Structure 1
């Protein structure tokens, strides 16, 4: 499989898994009925965050990290991949814990989402260095240091409407001809 396709699948898997876990963690995992005689029974609905509070934040981290794989490269992509894999592992553990405590479809969906995020992070760790990255045209250009340390020359450049950090002070600005 070519590297661009691997990147695309990892990002889509991470986003899908993080989104699924985010959605599933906010659904009602179980309903508790509290009897309060002589008063009416009280029904309390518990979502995934009631049982495993860490699931929702980790699902969001996994989703954002999967998107960040596109914007990173080299060591940064490896670090993001490790973060995505760790968050996926935490989400899957929360879903598994929910399945053990209160079996249902939403804990299973949370665990599945966590496994998708974990797979995206593992793919980034395994082969993320070979994936394509954004070109250098998206990076900030290096800041040119002014040639002159003379404050008057810097002010004069500003007065002419020039950026003193990008032009060599003392040289003629583009469009300036010789007078004479």
Structure 2
């Protein structure tokens, strides 16, 4: 595998793993709340999603960004890299908040996932322009420059003449 292709693969895998890690840890227990007082109530477990409802959406945006890294090229890939950096930073901030609320291990794993997404974004921002892109086989060809000769594709003049003869009611295949 070549250098740029390896960099692209690494960025996509790191971003996808970070997003999956963030999704998994957002649904785990972050805090256990128990009532104090004379009435005994069962302890309530709160997940990261219950504390911060936007966590899965940001993690899914990171997962979508991993796939988009493959499809984009050039400046669009750099913009995507910036968006991935911006998507990963709130997850790191949520991890700091979650670590202060109770069980610090699970929120810190979320922070690791956010850092992985941001890392992939930084790599795409800095090096993404040199990475390979998907095939352009199905893209529309660019317009020719004014005055540039373009070979015409389509029916030849004899084909057009046959159709014109049919329009006049003549049989172009008969020999008179």
TM-score range, shorter chain: 0.7 to 0.9
Q: For residue 31 of structure 1, give the secondary structure of its aligned residue in structure 2.
A: strand
- Does residue 1:33 correspond to 2:27, yes or no? no
Per-residue deviation, 1:54: 2.7
Per-residue deviation, 1:43: 2.5
Per-residue deviation, 1:37: 4.6
Per-residue deviation, 1:122: 0.3
- CA shift in 2, pair 1:132/1:34, >3 Å: same
1:66-85 to 2 correspondences below 5 Å: 66-85=66-85
Instruction: Report the Cα distance in structure 2 between the residues aligned to 1:45 and 1:120, rounded to whole angstroms.
Output: 33
Q: Unmatched 5+ residue regions in structure 2?
A: 142-152, 164-170
1:90–1:114 contact (8 Å) kept in structure 2: yes
1:24–1:109 contact (8 Å) kept in structure 2: yes
Match of 1:93 in 2: 93
Q: Could you give the per-residue CA deviations for residues 82-137 of structure 1, whole angstroms, max 9, x where no partner exists?
A: 11111011111111211123242110100000010010000000000000001111
Instruction: Give TM-score, length-normalised by structure 2.
Output: 0.76
1:108-147 to 2 correspondences below 5 Å: 108-139=108-139, 141=140
Per-residue deviation, 1:167: 6.1
1:4-23 to 2 correspondences below 5 Å: 4-23=5-24
Match of 2:63 in 1: 63
CA radius of gyration, larger in? 2
Instruction: Report the Cα distance in structure 1 between the residues aligned to 2:94 and 2:120, rounded to whole angstroms.
Output: 18
Q: Unmatched 5+ residue regions in structure 1?
A: 143-165
- Does residue 1:44 correspond to 2:38, yes or no? no
Instruction: Report the Cα distance in structure 2 between the residues aligned to 1:138 and 1:80, rounded to whole angstroms.
Output: 22
May I ask how many residue pairs the two structures share in their alignment? 152
- Does residue 1:179 correspond to 2:160, yes or no? no
Instruction: Report the Cα distance in structure 1 between the residues aligned to 2:57 and 2:119, rounded to whole angstroms.
Output: 18
Instruction: Report the Cα distance in structure 2 between the residues aligned to 1:3 and 1:28, rounded to whole angstroms.
Output: 40
Instruction: Report the Cα distance in structure 1 between the residues aligned to 2:72 and 2:172, rounded to whole angstroms.
Output: 48
Q: For residue 59 of structure 1, give the secondary structure of its aligned residue in structure 2.
A: helix
Q: For residue 41 of structure 2, give the secondary structure of its aligned residue in structure 1.
A: strand
1:35–1:42 contact (8 Å) kept in structure 2: no
Per-residue deviation, 1:179: 1.8
